[in-house]
Structure 1
């Protein structure tokens, strides 16, 4: 049998196994370990039960709040987890089809397996969070924009902004710097961005009204206690950790081999998107999932331009991190109990091998219990991953 054909079948089979495993984890994972999940669900419950408006966080993210709330309330954690994971998969496929001019099934498969091998991109999207919701609409908008279907692009970009406000930056870069197969005037691009801004902004009218036309809700809780040095230290360590400690240097090596010819419009746009995500993360270096878009954009460059041995090395190292994780810092937290916020106060160099992403996933499944009252019926249903509609 042809060697390339055998390789394609093996990689395709591996992807099917990984995706199946992902849906299995969605089934057993319950409502997960993210403290923002229950506030998001509560937004839907409050509006459904007595018409009250509440926001899950400072800004609130209306589209996934309603979507995840609806799925959790009527169908339970498996539905909310599965749709979130499915949105992640579809978003990855669509963003590849949007960015690549010449579609290669082999490269698409390699891109998918590279993304699915990443502990951050895989395990973080197996529970009800909003990152994959925003990225799906962003990917759809980019696809329509690349095909010059601007009306649907504007609508999709608006929903992406309504899912996570920070995607406004990514949308702006796509609108003004996507020049692969079109030559739009600055005036046309400005009109498209303005329409997108208005549609995306409509999702945030309720929270604006609720705050008496004040804009303080646009702020966010930043870990600024240790000044800029503390922010930069968190940013550096978490960025390194999100990519993988060894993988980080492999990616730098891959960029070293790129020639000036490799830096076409596509690569330049992806680098702009990566830099914008990194700057946002520098501003608020909190959850590693904030870096999901940057990781995806890096992997798009990897698949299209890096040497094959670097690509295969990244995939192998990513899967290795499923089982074990290399740690170079021993971080002390203000409160190390499982339910306490992770507030780092000091760190020192200390190499050790810790359990990987799979073990961490199972260890954190009961963390949702930190934010529920176990003595109530609702609390018990949350702990069991059931729907939150309580029949009388």
Structure 2
């Protein structure tokens, strides 16, 4: 099949632009990056620690290894390509017949979302977990039981909060290979067992208690959590885009409900939202939800709406609409983000691209610039 030339050009521009930002982005602006690298360096020195409460061993090892030996550019490229590879494999997992033009348009559609695009240009673990999740789904759909279990297990080892996605996928993926419920349970238990093996060291370090499963939740009561959840979910989807999605879901309600993978994707979306309600912190926690939602819309809506959403998404890269003014305890971007108050004050603000550029040196908030290690971090160099 002949590939649509404009789509091909746009996709290549996306990739090249992503590569460029991977080069200039350094080690990024995520406060979890340095602890993950530190965990890997600890492994090399015979010491064990986790980067966070739970720790994510697979991601810690991959990101640490690449950063230590090759620097930020190689690490960022790996994260970016993991995202793209995960999207391709996820798409192939749910399609019986592959149309190259449709695949490229789907990739452009998802990559146009600024949270998906810009958050995966630095060393984070979401795209690593999603890649292995997609591989598990792909081989599950194609009846390769052993491979699906292995990749689902590695996925859990990369981010343990992907475990609900794995369970839901095995239970509701339409395949004759696991039509028997007992077999589904066996595959689930096997995947979780393999995934949990990655967390065996931290379990032992915690004196065989489950304290390591806690998460760093922000302060607040349920109402404050719900407000954060609602606002950040809306922001992740897009303040304007959300209304378009609601319109499309109503307009194409029958095709959506009749689509054979709708139940699976809606359950995956629901589980992601439940997790985010429990800890409404980083917008990137909702990356899987965005991908699952985009796939449903892409499969059921007319292409003119997909193109419209791509244009709206792309505009938010450079100029964005903000309906709410949030007051923070501190405006110093090195300090922890702690919201104090919010009021409805609609305004136009700079887009995600400019925010990405302005936060490239945020990594210096967590390093000592007088050390050789700190200078290498700031310059994006290999750390060995």
Query: Normalised by the shorter chain, which TM-score bucket?
Result: over 0.9
1:73 to 50, 68, 73: 68
CA distance in structure 1 between the partners assigned to 2:324 and 2:64 by the alignment: 38
CA distance in structure 1 between the partners assigned to 2:382 and 2:24 by the alignment: 14
Contact preservation (8 Å) 2:229, 2:276:
yes
Contact preservation (8 Å) 2:130, 2:155:
yes
2:300 to 300, 305, 309: 305
The alpha carbon displacement at 1:262 in A equals 3.5
SS of 2:326's partner is: strand
Tell me which residue corresponds to 2:349: 354
Q: Deviations over 1:187-212 (max 9, x none)?
A: 00000011101000000000000111
2:131 to 117, 132, 136: 136
CA distance in structure 1 between the partners assigned to 2:245 and 2:256 by the alignment: 15
CA distance in structure 1 between the partners assigned to 2:70 and 2:242 by the alignment: 40
The alpha carbon displacement at 1:104 in A equals 2.1
Per mean C-alpha deviation after superposition, the further-off stretch among 180-189 and 167-176 is: 180-189
Tell me which residue corresponds to 1:230: 224
Aligned-residue RMSD, C-alpha: 1.3
The alpha carbon displacement at 1:282 in A equals 0.7
Structure 1 alignment gaps of length 5 or more = none
Contact preservation (8 Å) 1:238, 1:288:
yes
1:240 to 2:234 alignment: yes
Contact preservation (8 Å) 1:254, 1:307:
no
Tell me which residue corresponds to 1:204: 199
- TM-score, length-normalised on structure 1? 0.96
Contact preservation (8 Å) 2:256, 2:296:
no
2:38 to 36, 42, 49: 42
1:15 to 2:11 alignment: yes
Contact preservation (8 Å) 2:249, 2:256:
no
Tell me which residue corresponds to 2:251: 257
Tell me which residue corresponds to 2:104: 109
SS of 1:166's partner is: helix
Contact preservation (8 Å) 2:63, 2:123:
yes
CA distance in structure 1 between the partners assigned to 2:178 and 2:62 by the alignment: 36
Contact preservation (8 Å) 1:107, 1:304:
no
Tell me which residue corresponds to 2:20: 24
Tell me which residue corresponds to 1:333: 328
The alpha carbon displacement at 1:309 in A equals 2.5
- TM-score, length-normalised on structure 2? 0.98
1:266 to 261, 268, 281: 261
The alpha carbon displacement at 1:115 in A equals 1.0
Alignment of 1:146-295 (within 5 A): 146-179=141-174, 182=177, 184-225=179-220, 227-263=221-257, 264-295=259-290
CA distance in structure 2 between the partners assigned to 1:12 and 1:92 by the alignment: 16
Q: Deviations over 1:304-340 (max 9, x none)?
A: 1012222111101100001011101110111111101
CA distance in structure 2 between the partners assigned to 1:41 and 1:261 by the alignment: 46
Q: Deviations over 1:177-234 (max 9, x none)?
A: 1015655100000000111010000000000001111111101111242x11100100
The alpha carbon displacement at 1:102 in A equals 2.7
SS of 2:268's partner is: helix
The alpha carbon displacement at 1:261 in A equals 4.6
CA distance in structure 2 between the partners assigned to 1:246 and 1:233 by the alignment: 18
1:84 to 2:79 alignment: yes
The alpha carbon displacement at 1:380 in A equals 0.5
